[in-house]
Structure 1
Amino acid sequence: MREFINYTDNHYLNADDPINDFAWRERKQPVYRLLDNKKWLDDFFERGELALSCFLKFIHYPDEIRGDKEEGDAMVWFENTKGDTIAVKYQTGENCYVLCTTMTLNDKIISDFNAVGAIKIHNYTFFGLEVMRAIKNCYQGISGRCNYKSSRVFNSSSEYMKTIIDRGDHANNPEFYDELLRITSEYELFLKLKKYEYQDEFRLIWFSNLKVNESIIIKCPEALRHCERIDF
């Protein structure tokens, strides 16, 4: 499947620059949304109906394979120039809708999720943009492969953060929180424990202006052109 995007932003490119005659494409690996009910496959491919989940649902899901009570949680720690350690535990994702997919199809994944079929998404960027248009109060989206770690605790060696902490009163310092946001960079939204690594999960996340407590079903037939149906 070939798709072309012409780059025409003259704020960055001079109209006379020969680079304007070029096009740049990114070769994307397809991702697969597994479904355990044929009706949901029919609903999407016949009417464009798609269910989006949320982090709160992941936390309370009784099935460990599909849920994770620590979703969205992480802890980052820093050392100042004196060797003192400061740790920050945080949680995000309360304003997000999520679609979990896999980059790998194999018998174990299909069995673990009781999948009867999948939505094969050829271009997840264009797919994500179409879905975004169908979500009320949505202002931003992000997609990426999950990172699998042995712990949700990680260290940052930011030299700038060291100087902020050295100055003291970091808890009330806006610079501290700005640097914290830069360092974490939505890391926790794609963080999974090592035991789930075989799932090879790829996430699409949409941010809402409102708190997200429940899953939703959207109608987005425009997304179908980027997808292919697979029945197992």
Structure 2
Amino acid sequence: MATYHAGAASSENLGLNKPLIEPANEADIELMVVPSQRVAKMTKQKYLEDFFNKGIIQLGTYDLFRNAGNPEVRDHQEGVVTLIGQGYNRTAWGRFQGGDSNYLFCTYLGDPDPAVVRAFEYETCYYIDDPVGFASAVGAALGAQSYSFGKCVYCQEKALIGELKPEYSFERMDRRTIEMVGEAMHFVKPVRYSHQMEFRFAWRVPSDVKGSLIVECPDAVKFCSKK
């Protein structure tokens, strides 16, 4: 379920020539692009063995991350973003909470910094060598409607700016507005988490989900390798 506060105005009225915030740009979020760096999943040794022996992984949700005990994991703004749409010399904005119908899997882009591994209370990592194959296998195990993955973009204010679609009506600001930037809103994070170098996987399911989910997916193992 999405909740929002919204409005619309001309660019001049909003003073966008002197922005109060510096949002991430939708164009900077490269979804479904396999990175040149390695994609590493930080974990504990026991969970690494569970994955390679049985295909067991734990997926998270925005609810889980908003309420996590470990401050390195906890982000009260998960699933919440300010969307700014520009077009036709006007600007529409809205602060949304959505995406709760997604299961998430957070990884590290490159070889993990040992300090970050310790902060997450992990011990080791493994590599996802084929992000497309991995995402597809997990999606099949979940019966997911769709999946996406990409490198997270960090900004001071959790805001995302993009071009409005031609059919957008400035008279209305609702769930359809989320679609103007599609899945990109799920890959914007506050800059204080930038040291995490997150590469995120998201699987959309038919209804909202909470907590964590243990999934047994042996088919995903062949797309990964040990450190």
2:192 paired residue number: 195
Q: Which runs of 5+ in 1 are unaligned?
A: 1-25
C-alpha displacement of 1:108? 2.0
Structure with greater strand percent: 2
Identity %: 22
> Where do 1:152-163 residues align within 5 Å?
152-156=158-162, 158=164, 160=166
Q: For 1:39, which of 38, 46, 53 is the aligned residue?
A: 46
Distance 1:182 1:62 in 2: 32
Helix, strand or coil at the partner of 1:164 = coil
Specify the code of the residue in structure 1 equivalent to 2:169: I
Decide whether aligned partners of structure 1 residues 118 and 79 sit closer, same or farther in structure 2, where only a CA change above 3 A counts.
closer
- The reply on whether 1:124 has 2:131 as its aligned counterpart is yes
User: For each residue in 1:175-218, what CA deviation from the matched residue of structure 2 results, as whole angstroms up to 9, or x when unmatched?
Assistant: x754x244322222111111111211000111101221121111
Q: For 2:212, which of 193, 196, 215 is the aligned residue?
A: 215
Decide whether aligned partners of structure 1 residues 116 and 160 sit closer, same or farther in structure 2, where only a CA change above 3 A counts.
same
Decide whether aligned partners of structure 1 residues 38 and 160 sit closer, same or farther in structure 2, where only a CA change above 3 A counts.
same
TM-score w.r.t. structure 1 length?
0.74
Q: For 2:147, which of 132, 141, 147 is the aligned residue?
A: 141
Q: Which runs of 5+ in 2 are unaligned?
A: 1-33
2:64 paired residue number: 57
Distance 1:128 1:155 in 2: 27
- Say what the alpha-carbon RMSD is for the aligned residues: 2.4
Helix, strand or coil at the partner of 2:72 = coil
The runs of at least 4 aligned residues of structure 1 exceeding 6 Å deviation read 79-83
Please tell me whether the aligned partners of residues 29 and 122 of structure 1 are also in contact (alpha carbons under 8 angstroms).
no
TM-score w.r.t. structure 2 length?
0.76
Please tell me whether the aligned partners of residues 92 and 188 of structure 1 are also in contact (alpha carbons under 8 angstroms).
no
Please tell me whether the aligned partners of residues 87 and 164 of structure 2 are also in contact (alpha carbons under 8 angstroms).
no
Structure with greater helix percent: 1
Specify the code of the residue in structure 2 equivalent to 1:143: F
Q: For 1:106, which of 94, 98, 113 is the aligned residue?
A: 113
Helix, strand or coil at the partner of 1:183 = coil
